[in-house]
Chains A and B, each alone.
Chain A
Amino acid sequence: MNVSFLLIVPMLTAVVVGLAANARQVKLFALAGTILQLLLVAFLVMVFLQQPGYNQPGAILFEVSYAWFAPLHINFHAGVDGFSVAMIVLTSLVVLAGVLVSWKITLLPKEFFMLLLVLSAGAYGFFISLDLFVQFFFLELAVVPKFLLIAVWGSGKKEYSAMKLALMLMAGSALVFTGLTALYFAGAPGAQSFDLVHLGQYKIPVQTQLYCFPLLFTGFGVFTAIFPFHTWVPDGHSSAPTAASMFLAGISMKLGGYGCLRVAVYLMPVAARYYSPFIVVLATIAILYGSFATMMQQDLKYMNAYSSVSHCGFVLLGIGMLTRVSLDGAVLQMLSHGLMTALFFAAIGMIYDRTHTRMLGQLGGLLRVMPFISSVFVLAGLCSLGLPGLSGFVAEMTVFMGSWPRQGTLYRVSTILACASIVVTAVYILRAVAKTVFGPQDNPVYADLGDAGWYEKVAAGLMGAGILFIGLLPFWVLRFITPETTHIIQQAGNAIPLK
């Protein structure tokens, strides 16, 4: 299968949506396009699993390469491995769900869905590209649609949030850009290249690694809310319209994690080991700070946004620990958090659409009037606090199991602190669930509210199924991930032996 289809389908859908005559057609075309995406991705998974050697470390399948800027050795080089396939599946699910939850949008629907589709194309492009220039292209492609989605369709202090998000993400990509140019010139004259495969085989000089790694890791880290560059997350997520919040938290933050692991750690293993204490410390701060900050929130969206900072901290912790199992955990956490947060934002959006408030103090007893939405809310909450059987448990457990073997007081203490943060998570999740879903119903207006429509049910069902799937069949998912993490650890050479 030619992976370029993953780009062509959303772009074509965006064009078709642009040509649609009325709002109804716009929605139908967008839905058809995203369903097509999902089918295409399902087909990709099928053929991927049939390929011999798909589970070999470092195997890249369905490679395509077209010359783009030949004098600079820049090619459109794309292909997938298990890691990227997992991310692509996540993207297709969240995008389809995002289109569905936006079904009732009235303000400029055509532009809204076009931007959403461009965003999805950017995410697919990022995950399939094997040339760092192309990858950077897609990383930046996604910034402006996010800005517009928040600035135009958002709520609250949307202009401030949109600008903050765009500038911080662009600053992140400015660091990535600087790191990339340095990597490019690390090659021999005449053989300079942005090609990931090429650079992976090439031993990058230690000096270059030591100053490139912080640039690239921090740059990608901004996307995944590395402390102290996480401040765009609460504002951005809470001002964004529901579908954009889902996309931001579900996919966009994963671009950062993917980049940290795939580009920074994979290409510069020596520097990764050198800087790993710093990463672990920052990740632990993010985990603790995020969960304590969440406790103090009254606005449901802010709550989920701060808890995202905390959950993405687990991704960084897993990466920082640099064992194969911890990397597995980091990737699982990326998938789990993507689905869980998107589901959470969807549920909050559905509640907000009906009650017009997101404040904990004003909500209560929703289970009686909207049983489906409330159940979804509870499911997402339980996943977030790590209930066994759901994806959150599997992912965090794997991170902890991978972190413990790493010797050293710092690593031990960080692991213990991160484990302890789960208690805090339980506090805020249970409090929010108790207050919103159960509890007394004070406001008589809420008594007449309706439950979810078909489109919301399908959207929630998709992500809920994903959460359960990862939670119940984690080893099936790990079949995709482990070859890649093994490869990265092999690249790192002297990996810490697992007990």
Chain B
Amino acid sequence: MMQTFFSLARQELALTLIIFTLLFIRIGTEELSPKAIINLVNGLLLLNFLLGLLPFPGGMLFNDMFRTGALQATEKNMLNLGMLIISLQSYHWLLAHRHLAECYILLLSSLLGMFLMISAGNLMMFYLALEMGAIPLAALVNFDLHKRQSSEAALKFVISSAFASGLLLFGISFFYGSTGTLVFAELPGKLTGNPIQLFALVLIIAGFGFKISAAPFHLWTADVYEGAPVAITAYLSVISKGAAVFVLVNVLYTMMKPLSASWYPILYVLSIVTMLTGNLFALRQTRIKRLLAFSSIAQAGFMLAGISGSTREGMAATVYFILVYVFSNLGAFGVVAVVSALTGKEETSDYTGLYTHNRGLTWIMALSLFSLAGIPPLAGFFGKFFLVLAAAGKGNYSLVLVAALNMVLSLYYYLNLVRMMFSGKEGTVPLPAITLHRYPYAGLLICVIGMLVAGMAGSVYGYIFSISLAG
């Protein structure tokens, strides 16, 4: 029993270990230097990532509350990698921050919640893990205590997050009421598609809609992303969203499979509305974090399109896209984090002529934006192509056409930013040369390599396909 516990929950245990180490350091008498803490956490995260690459047995724990397998382990490892990249990229911000250890403790607690959520085998467990992932984030959004905007963002986050949880809980209670069970494995057999279950389905999808910031539940996104420190914004837009999408796919493809005729139209509409909202609002943004916020809303629309395919290809494409999205979005956020931490500039116009003194940073930003826009040979192209291909499997090409035209729409603001970085204008002073510590440098490099390799090497998709479920 103990042995299976240690082998199945090893990713969660490793995270817990890091959290407790940090706690002991914090309450211990001897103060560790900030650099030492960062080195320690980065090292342990890397170790955890490497251990996560080992083959993973599947199984259940705690009376089927916790289940895991190759798919779950891979998903968690992706998030772990994302966490490592964020930690590396935010080096300059973290180093300057007084509450460094607390920041890590909160971030990792949230990540632990996401891990447990991915492995949840029971709706109750799922709900608890979800809250565990969300509550530390509220504190983190407000982590720059001196900024008023951060407090505002945190309050917005708390309220919208609580509202989403309320919707989810409401939906879960209806499911329990109509089926008498909360166990994922037992639910599909008891779903009949009666009105109360459909209502519950709508509530649960709405709750997820908040978490992945799908329109019309996206209203908190831009303000919170803008107010939060860049590292937390990156975490929210990549890790938190990624985890929610993983669980959404899992819930829809396994537990809600009998209701797929009901959720397909919901996802279809949500996907189109989300893509259009994200892209149209992004066109007019002048602050880079808001721009990326709306772009990440639009990306969520693409993910929903892929999920709506409800085939094994759909699941593989969604999981694959999250991997691609981790690299692409963190590449962009990484550059923003570095620029923001070292120069304090967060407007898009500040990036005018960035190429003059910061060639490397400009290329990384440009590649990330191209990847987000879905331009080959970067991974984003493959990610989006497969998502839309999966959506087309339903035979509904209207969604394909809308998605493809949305890619054109999004190209406008991505390319506009790229053009500004490369050409510059007379009368503006470009940002001075920025020298990076080796950590943020490494973090950005991982993203670039990831964007190139995850796309061009077909085996990455092949592996994800092999561990995905048949829909």
Contact = CB atoms under 8 A, between A and B. Distances in A.
Interface of A: 67-72, 74, 133, 137-138, 140-141, 143-144, 147-148, 151-152, 159, 162-163, 166-167, 170-171, 174-175, 177-178, 181-182, 184-185
B427 interface: no
Contact of A178 (B376, B401, B415, B458): B401
Given A151-B423, A167-B411, A167-B412, A177 B400 contact: yes
B381 A177 contact: no
Contacts of B407: 170, 174
27 contacts: A69-B382, A69-B458, A71-B316, A71-B461, A71-B465, A71-B466, A72-B461, A137-B381, A140-B376, A141-B377, A144-B375, A144-B415, A147-B415, A148-B418, A148-B419, A152-B419, A152-B423, A162-B419, A163-B412, A174-B401, A177-B388, A181-B388, A181-B392, A181-B397, A181-B400, A182-B392, A185-B392
Contact of A163 (B395, B415, B423): B415
Interface residues of B, number: 35
A143 B411 CA distance: 11
A163 B416 contact: yes
B415 A72 contact: no
A191 to B, nearest CB: 14
B408 to A, nearest CB: 5
Contact of B375 (A74, A133, A143, A177): A143
A72 B386 contact: yes
Contacts of A151: 419, 422-423
Given A72-B389, A140-B375, A185-B393, A170 B411 contact: yes
Nearest to A143: B375
B345 to A, nearest CB: 22
Contacts of A74: 458
A27 to B, nearest CB: 19
A67 B465 CA distance: 15
B341 to A, nearest CB: 27
Contacts of A138: 376
A72 B375 CA distance: 20
Nearest to A154: B423
A174 B275 CA distance: 15
Given A71-B313, A148-B418, A178 B404 contact: yes
B462 A71 contact: yes
Contacts of A67: 458
A163 B283 CA distance: 13
Contacts of B412: 163, 167
Nearest to A75: B458
A74 B455 CA distance: 13
A137 B377 contact: yes
Contacts of A171: 405, 408
A147 B418 CA distance: 10
Nearest to B457: A68
B397 to A, nearest CB: 6
Contacts of A137: 376-377, 381
Contacts of B302: none
Interface in B412-443: 412, 415-416, 418-419, 422-423
B470 to A, nearest CB: 12
A184 B395 CA distance: 11
B246 interface: no
A3 B461 CA distance: 26
A157 to B, nearest CB: 13
Given A68-B458, A71-B316, A177-B404, A182 B397 contact: yes
B370 interface: yes
Contacts of B381: 137, 140
Contacts of A166: 411, 415
